[in-house]
Amino acid sequence: MKGSGNIDRNPATLKQTAFDRVRAMILRGEVRPGEPLRERELSDKLGLSRTPLREALNKLEIEGLVENQPHRGYTVTVVDLKTAGELLDLRMLLDAHAAALAADSITEKGIAELDAVMRRLAAFEAHEHLSLDDLAEEVRTGMRIHEIIVRETGQRFLIDTLNALYGRLSLLIWVDVLWIDRWDLTRAEHKEIVAAVTARDGKRAARAAKLHVQRSRDDLQRVVDAQSLLHGTHRPLAEGRR
Amino acid sequence: MKGSGNIDRNPATLKQTAFDRVRAMILRGEVRPGEPLRERELSDKLGLSRTPLREALNKLEIEGLVENQPHRGYTVTVVDLKTAGELLDLRMLLDAHAAALAADSITEKGIAELDAVMRRLAAFEAHEHLSLDDLAEEVRTGMRIHEIIVRETGQRFLIDTLNALYGRLSLLIWVDVLWIDRWDLTRAEHKEIVAAVTARDGKRAARAAKLHVQRSRDDLQRVVDAQSLLHGTHRPLAEGRR
DNA sequence: CCAATCACGATGGTATACAATTGTCAATCG
DNA sequence: CGATTGACAATTGTATACCATCGTGATTGG
């Protein structure tokens, strides 16, 4: 049989669509950290066979979004608070580096894209009350800034590494909370970063990017401290099934 | 058939052995950058079927050691001089970070391992003339220092990222030349890095690591300049087949 | 003689059948 | 009654057969 629900019209290749769709499912939170990813189930759901799906899962494993134990299957990676701190430390380093590079080499097209994103963000800012969905949308839009800046560096390895980093961080349920925490500051920081990059001021861009992440990191630290107080010791976010 | 040359006694899983062996083949230079990796050919050579081999290739693609064009196959990644510069810039950043972290958290076992490596390196240093094989061996041993330091940070994402980075850099045929260039300096720098880490002096370790990579980067820059003079413009290392 | 097109061969992409491993549940023995 | 062991079911790991796509070279028409 050709596949029951053969919907895709233009599948560059099935393993690519499998990779993209599973990745999106994870990043959108449709499958939660710690949950198992059963091959048959997923391949049925996506309307393709196990082979391209497994190739996608293998790639996602290297990217760190899923973990695999031989003969036991795949699960969505669980990011604990300690790991999150490490990831944010690295992001501080690499985001600053990327911002400086982007400031030096950003194209007119990139600047236009940043302008467009900033206009969209301004629309959110104008409203008094935002629904949770609106907030989620603003968060996603805000991430676009970082994605554009990273892309504009034009450095493949850096792009791949930071995308993997962002992906891992988005597995943290907590970040939503962190970002909402001081949303006004986040908005101001985003403006400063974009201003510095579009002004092609590398030093300033690096400083702004570093501060931006540093605050997230400090916010996280407060959460960790609060957790310690509550539970006596810090605990992972989800129950890791042995 | 069970596989003609079934040598492996303890294959945790075939896709794992495929991954390890192909990776080793690439890093050891048994297949050169730009060369195609034909699936049937490789799977025959390794004595397994195409399925586990393809899963390994998919992982290596994400890691950046091989590239894949749909319907055209896999090739070993070609690292040009511009990319090499970008990689060394990142390595400067990350190695310094890793060295500082390792200095803070290195275990007694890690220190012992570093000592052992340094003793092996001292043996090389004692000799007046080294064969090319000896030199290659000394280079590999020197890399052990970085591997140990990276591992001792205990930060998974950093470890994975730097291992990928080292892998990509080892695709550069030129690095051998670079490293041989001022071998006496390299030796001194290695000593300083190890001394700083074992003394648990993070600041000093970071500084030493940064300087170490920075010199490689400067050496590379000289090569690029020389290339420009020779050819009028810089050229990639190998012919990239469209 | 050159160029465009068509057919064939090689290679990768996908599906499916089968083997191996692991976890679970039940039965039996202490 | 509890624990240990053995068989079965579920799930992943591997092999292979088949299909789609692409590059290449030959052939034919200008």
Q: CA at B65, C1' at C24: how many angstroms apart? A: 42
Nearest residue: Cα versus C1' of C15: A49
Residue A8 reports pLDDT greater than 50: no
Q: Where in chain A is the domain with CATH 1.20.120.530?
A: 81-231
* Multiple choice CATH, B81-231, 1.25.40.10, 1.20.120.530, 1.10.150.20, 2.40.30.20: 1.20.120.530
Strand blocks (E) in B4-141? 36-37, 66-69, 73-76
Numbered ranges of CATH 1.10.10.10 in chain B: 14-76
Alpha helices in A32-80 (DSSP H): 39-46, 50-63
Q: What is the pLDDT, as a whole number, of residue A200?
A: 97
pLDDT by residue (tens digit) across A178-197?
555 678 888 999 999 999 99
Q: Look up the CATH architecture of domain A14-76.
A: Orthogonal Bundle (1.10)
Predicted local distance difference test score (pLDDT) of residue B6 = 36
Round the CA-based radius of gyration of chain B to a whole number and report it.
19
Interval B186-216: pLDDT, tens: 899 999 999 999 999 999 999 999 999 999 8
pLDDT tens sequence across A21-80? 999 999 988 999 999 999 999 999 999 998 999 999 999 999 999 999 988 999 999 998
pLDDT interval class at A173 (50, 70, 90): low
Q: How far apart are CA B187 and CA B190, in angstroms?
A: 5
Contact A150, A159 (CB under 8 A): yes
Between the alpha carbon of residue A53 and those of residues A65, A67, A160, A181, B129, the distances in Å are: 15, 15, 21, 38, 54
Confidence category of residue B179, pLDDT binned at 50, 70, 90:
low
Measured between CA atoms, how close is B155 to chain A, in angstroms? 7
Give mean pLDDT, residues B95-121.
97
Query: If contacts are CB pairs under 8 Å, which of residues 154-183 in chain B contact chain A?
Result: 155-158, 160-161, 164-165, 168
Q: Which of B7, B6, B15 is nearest to B53 (CA)?
A: B15
Q: What is the pLDDT of residues A65-104, one digit of tens each?
A: 999 998 899 999 999 888 999 999 999 999 999 999 999 9
State, as a whole number of angstroms, the distance between the CA of A38 and the C1' of D5: 29
Spatial CB neighbours of B27, under 8 Å, sequence gap ≥ 6:
B65, B167, B170
Q: What pLDDT, on the 0 to 100 scale, is given for residue B9? A: 42
Instruction: Provide, in whole angstroms, the distance separating residue B60's CA from nucleotide C14's C1'.
Output: 21
pLDDT at site B239: 36
> What pLDDT was estimated at residue A242?
33
Q: What SS3 string covers B76-106?
A: ECCCCHHHHHHHHHHHHHHHHHHHHHHHHHC
Confidence label for B226 from pLDDT (cuts 50, 70 and 90): confident
Residues in chain A within 8 Å Cβ distance of B55? 54-55, 58
For B11, nearest residue in chain A (alpha carbons): A70
Residue A122 has pLDDT above 70, yes or no: yes
